[in-house]
Amino acid sequence: MLAPIWWTAFTVLGIWGHSLLPGVDFFAPGMAVSLRWQRPAATITLTLAWLAIQEGAGGLAFGYAILWYGILFTLLTVGRWLLDPGSIQFQALLGLALGLAHFLLLYLMAVLEMRAFPLKRVLGECLLQAALYPVLWYLTESLFPERLKKRREELL
Amino acid sequence: MNPKRVAIFLVAGLFFYLALYTWNLRTGLLTRLSIYSGLDSVGAVLRPGSWAGHAAGGFVERYLSLVGLKQENEALREEIKALRLESMTLRERAEATARVEKLLGFPEPPDWRREGARVIAHRIGPTAILETILVDRGKLSGAKEDTPVLCTEGVVGRIYRAGLTVATVLLLTDPSSRVAVVGRDNRAAGVIYGMGAGEKLMVKYVGLQSSIEPQEILVTSGMDGVYPKGLPVARVTSVRREEGTLFMDVQAEPLVDIAHLEEVLLLKRAARPEDSRPLWD
């Protein structure tokens, strides 16, 4: 029961984060933590919920969030083989990659939909995404209940 | 992992994504699903906080406004007197216009119902490249796509996406926003284009022979089929006539202070069509 409550609170805070700092994904660190400490089914459920929230509340046509979480999943999976997923250095590198991915994806979707692309603003938001991701990951990882971490370690 | 398998996995994934994207563009099913689930859940999360913020802000504002209340009351009384006088004159003119329209057999304008809505958020999430606000009215209260949104100063925008209980409003300033307008005094027609947050609006297609002056108010012409006629939209800030072009270079500024919007009005068209008479009548 603890895990659903914790993830609901995380999602609610994430939505408030999205409202206060548009252009930054507050759910991305959740995926990193969930992949590390939760069963794959839990990560899939959470990703589907975050995907619906982002696609529904966002301004673009459906499709951005699938690519975004697909890229994040790939980077986390590949990165796990090469580096320690619990290190802040790895997460900082991931933040940089996400900042770049955010820019490229938004540009791609804006071109596909023939929409104006506010370059300056998007660049600022990408930098913010890159800088905030490791901080948010650190907070999420630290606040994730020890009981759930231990349970996962026992299972493994 | 075998590189061949990785390549097959990537190509298959890309193919699946493109198929899904194209299928959704055609059917809109996933977009609707995400609006009814994602947008409404965002509204459910933000609404209580927004309400609490408004209540707390209102309390502080009421307390602070006690200072200088007497002077403000006197100024408001004077304003009411002036407005009453203006209203009297305008009522006479409106009644005369209605009589003339009836005599000439003009169709009656459609009925529009106003409904108040509270702004619960501005741009939301990583994909917020459009200039939007989120309001606490959705399809359950009759708000649907393209419903005009205004406030007491003028036009704010139109509904872009409507969930069951919340809706996203595309603002006048967004680069994809277009509003057909006409000058209130000189009746020069044009189309207002948004140029992004904090930027002046562009008024396009104003003919070189038209008359338009700086400070003139632009009102909706009703030609776009979205906004009713006569709603104030923007004030002209500059007019340039250039040689070798068919149209004037006109800039305007919105009448609404979009950054500080807290409440808006949704204009809902009554069920009766605008003009139900057949064309040959």
The predicted-structure confidence for B15-66, as pLDDT tens digits, reads as follows 998 999 889 888 989 988 999 988 999 999 998 887 787 777 777 777 766 7
What are the Cα distances from residue B35, in Å, to B28, B49, B163, B193? 11, 21, 6, 27
pLDDT band with cut points at 50, 70 and 90 for residue B128: confident
For residue B207 the two structure tokens come to: 């003919």
Q: Which residues contact A82 (CB under 8 A, 6 or more apart)?
A: none
Q: What is the DSSP string of A44-79?
A: HHHHHHHHHHHHHHSSSPTTHHHHHHHHHHHHHHHH
Q: Does domain B178-257 have CATH number 2.40.10.350?
A: yes
- Please say if the pLDDT value at position B108 is more than 50: yes
Q: What is the spatial distance between Cα B37 and Cα A5, in angstroms, rounded to a whole number?
A: 19
Q: For chain B, how big is the Rg over CA atoms in Å?
A: 24
Residue B140 identity (one-letter amino acid): L
Q: How far is the alpha carbon of B121 from chain A, nearest alpha carbon, in Å?
A: 6
Distance in angstroms (rounded) separating the CA atoms of residues B62 and B151: 21
Mean per-residue pLDDT, B275-280: 45
- The mean per-residue pLDDT over the stretch B80-108 comes to 84
B277 pLDDT above the threshold of 50: no
pLDDT for A156 equals 64
Instruction: State the pLDDT confidence band at A104, using cuts at 50, 70 and 90.
Output: very high
Measured between CA atoms, the residue of chain B closest to residue A19 is B124
- The reply to whether ipTM tops 0.90 is no
Q: What is the mean pLDDT of residues B198-206?
A: 92
pLDDT at B278: 44
pLDDT given for residue B279 in this prediction: 43
Q: Helix, strand or coil for residue A132?
A: helix
Residue A143, H or E segment: helix A119-143
Going from N- to C-terminal start, the domains of chain B cover 178-257
| CA torsion angle B21 B165 A10 A103 (round to 10) | 40
Mutate to test the interface with A, among B35, B123, B127, B171 (most CBs of A within 10 A): B127
Between positions 9 and 48 of B, the ones with CB within 8 A of A are 13, 17, 20-21, 24-25, 30-31, 33-42, 45-46
Rounded to the nearest integer, the mean pLDDT of chain B is 86
Contact status of B249 with chain A (Cβ, < 8 Å): no
Tell me: pLDDT of B275 over 60: no
A153, two tokens: 């370690």
- Summarised one tens digit per residue, pLDDT across range A16-71 is 999 999 989 999 999 999 998 888 899 999 999 999 999 998 888 888 999 999 99
- Does this model's pTM top 0.90? My answer is no
Q: Does B125 touch chain A (CB under 8 A)?
A: yes
- Over range A107-128, report the average pLDDT: 91
Grade residue B280 by pLDDT with cuts at 50, 70 and 90: very low
Cβ <8 Å between B126 and A129: yes
* Residues 6 or more apart whose Cβ sits within 8 Å of residue B177: B131, B157, B158, B170, B171, B192, B193, B194
A55 interfaces chain B, CB cutoff of 8 Å = yes
Task: Give me the torsion for CA of A113, A118, A123, A126, rounded to 10°.
Answer: -50
pLDDT at B200: 93
Q: Which of B38, B121, B196 sits opposite A19 (nearest CB)?
A: B121
